[in-house]
Amino acid sequence: MSMSDQQIVWATAAQLAEAIRARQLSAVETVRAVLDRIDRVDPELCAFVTVLRKEALQDAAAADDIQATGRPLGPLHGVPVSIKDILYTKDVRTTAGSFIFENFVPDADAIVVERLKNAGAIVIGKTSTPEFCHKTVTDSPLLGITRNPWDLSRTTGGSSGGSAAAVASGLGPLSIGTDGGGSIRLPASFCGVVGFKPSTGRVPQYPGFEGWDFLGHTGPFARTVEDVRLVMDVIAGPDARDPMSLNRPDPAAASRVPGKLRVAVARSLNHLEPEAAVAAGLQRAVAAVRDLGCELVNRQVMWTDPDLQFRVIVAAELASALEPHLPEFEARMDPGLVKMVRFGASQSATALVRALQWRRDFTRDLLQCFTDADVLLLPTSPVTAFAADIIGPTTISGRKTSPFDWFSWTWPFNLTGQPAISLPVWTGNGLPVGLQIVGRPGADDVVLDFAAALESRLGATATSRHPHLEPHK
């Protein structure tokens, strides 16, 4: 039985792959339905920098031809996927949200894109990012503001905001983002989808722009944990072109039953309480964890002055990549990025080494949270999506904060390299809340298994809740 366009755009990747494999749906029908919805809806979202209508339809037709020959099909055969505009795509403009690379066209795919194509996925376009992913809201000099599909006056978060907005809005079931400090998990939280940051090295990162080698991760957005796992089975694994890539899953992961896990719960961070909707979402999750039969451990989480050292590492890397471009492009760059680059350029080699040494000590201390727990459950962000024209709130739960404090719940796990996923839940105010699940380094499968069990118990998938968006006229 064929599917309507409405059914196609809200289907999961697993459902689409199964329908295409069973010849209930063609790749061309699937891709065309998604592209038509992008045409109708994206003008008010600004989730896409580039839409590959002609190329995607040609690739879909080729996919249908392959299927007609009876040749073996990849696990994502005919499934649409979008790619964050920081990741290289062969023969497709890749801008990093910057005028510096406004007309840059790579001559090779990033390994993750190469693997998706080999699995049969159809790349439909490139999604928005702030300039060089330098901040956790999504606006850029090239595209402007990317808006939250649940409330167009609010932010998607960042820096993979275009990918999260696309998946949340029915503009493809999958997208690939990057995460250097929360850039997958935060937009997933604000947009009500699933976003996964794998362990350091699980997904190779080559070739690509310089600037995020120390802390960057590449991972998927989807509407279900099942789809995240489907993508990870395709994109994870070592590659000699990226010497830093690893493939060291936790050897005991297969024997860990989600209902038997020890779950540490952090309800606040450095005494900062989340807003009411977020606290309610976490409370729902805690009740579900009890229902699963897990052992609960309450955990007080305190970071020891991580902000300055984190900024030194990030800014020094961005400065090494971008400072040579300042004389020509500074006037057309995001002022916040310029400030960050200048700060990074002012740091000495000694300061950077001290920051990296601090990172080692911080990681050792943070991993103590896992001596009596298998996973850590905490909010992805202490707030839900805020106004699209600010960098962050200055008051959270009645407490004055820095406008950067709201994302301090995510970036420590970039420093430690641990796997972390954001799972959506709704608590009645119309905006999604993100639940963050963090595992030991290398225990990606433990995190995904537990997230799937919690998702099922909560009924917290993004498949039945759709934002109301008026088609563009």
Please identify every residue annotated as catalytic. 84, 159, 183
SS (H, E, C) the chain: CCCCHHHHHHCCHHHHHHHHHCCCCCHHHHHHHHHHHHHHHHHHHCCEEEECHHHHHHHHHHHHHHHHCCCCCCCCCCCEEEEECCECCCCCCCCCCCHHHCCCCCCCCCHHHHHHHHCCCEEEEEECCCHHHCCCCCEECCCEECEECCEEEEECCCCCHHHHHHHHCCCCCEEEEEECCCCCHHHHHHHCCEEEECCCCCCCCCCECCCCCCCCEEEEEECCHHHHHHHHHHHCCCECCECCCCCCCCCCHHHCCHHHCEEEECCCECCECCCHHHHHHHHHHHHHHHHHCCEEEECCECCCCHHHHHHHHHHHHHHHHHHHHHHHHHHHCCHHHHHHHHHHHCCCHHHHHHHHHHHHHHHHHHHHHHCCCCEEEEECCCCCCCECCCCCCCEECCEECCCCHHHCCCCHHHHHCCCEEEEEEECCCCCEEEEEEEECCCCHHHHHHHHHHHHHHHCCCCCCCCCCCCCCC
